Copies of this chain bind each other. A is one copy, B any other.
């Protein structure tokens, strides 16, 4: 019986078994896993126990289940891990200031990353944003920042930033002030030139301009 393992968590064993099975049978991303009923019989456990393990893996984004079809090995790129974890982390951490500071950390890191990128592959993005800013006189703040993070090609950072953005309700709307337009133009120009210090300087002035009293 499985009752001889009082200490270990059954469903954790199942998770391990599944991992071994995936490897042993050469199941690739997108392939179908054995059905819950088959797994239960093969592993000699109840179906509900199998389900607890599968639901855990699903929450992690390791598998994908489609009713009526089956369970499939998922592309881990799409993990909603950060989404699930963040509410708890934010709740236990609690500080709005931390959320803001951390968001800024990622935004600054993006600027530094962009300026250090010798290949300058993302140049067209900044130039088009700069042009749009000059023509229309206004751009969504969020678009600019998001493009910066996207440009770093770090999905994890992007996810974290996206979530933090929601926790620190920043006026990410349209820009109205002429002064702000000038600052952002400077920021973009420095990004294009790859001048880290100047770009960061412009960014900090921008933050100051937006959030003002802090």
Q: Spell out A's residues near B (CB within 8 Å).
A: 6, 9, 11-12, 15, 19, 22-23, 29, 48, 51-53, 55-56, 58-60, 62, 67, 75-77, 80-81, 84-85, 87-95, 98-99, 101-102, 105-106, 108-109, 154-157, 159-160, 163
Contacts and interface: CB of A to CB of B under 8 A. Distances in A.
25 contacts: A15-B59, A19-B91, A29-B92, A48-B48, A52-B55, A56-B58, A59-B59, A59-B60, A60-B81, A76-B88, A76-B89, A77-B94, A81-B85, A85-B163, A89-B159, A90-B156, A93-B159, A94-B155, A95-B156, A98-B157, A101-B154, A101-B157, A105-B106, A108-B109, A109-B109
Q: Give this chain's copy count.
A: 2
Mostly helix, strand, loop or mixed at chain A's interface? Answer: helix
Given A56-B58, A60-B84, 9 more contacts: A23-B91, A56-B59, A62-B88, A76-B92, A90-B156, A93-B155, A98-B155, A102-B154, A102-B156
Contacts of A89: 76, 156, 159-160
A80 B154 contact: no
A88 B92 CA distance: 26
A191 B180 CA distance: 34
A106 B160 CA distance: 12
B80 A12 contact: yes
A139 to B, nearest CB: 25
A2 to B, nearest CB: 14
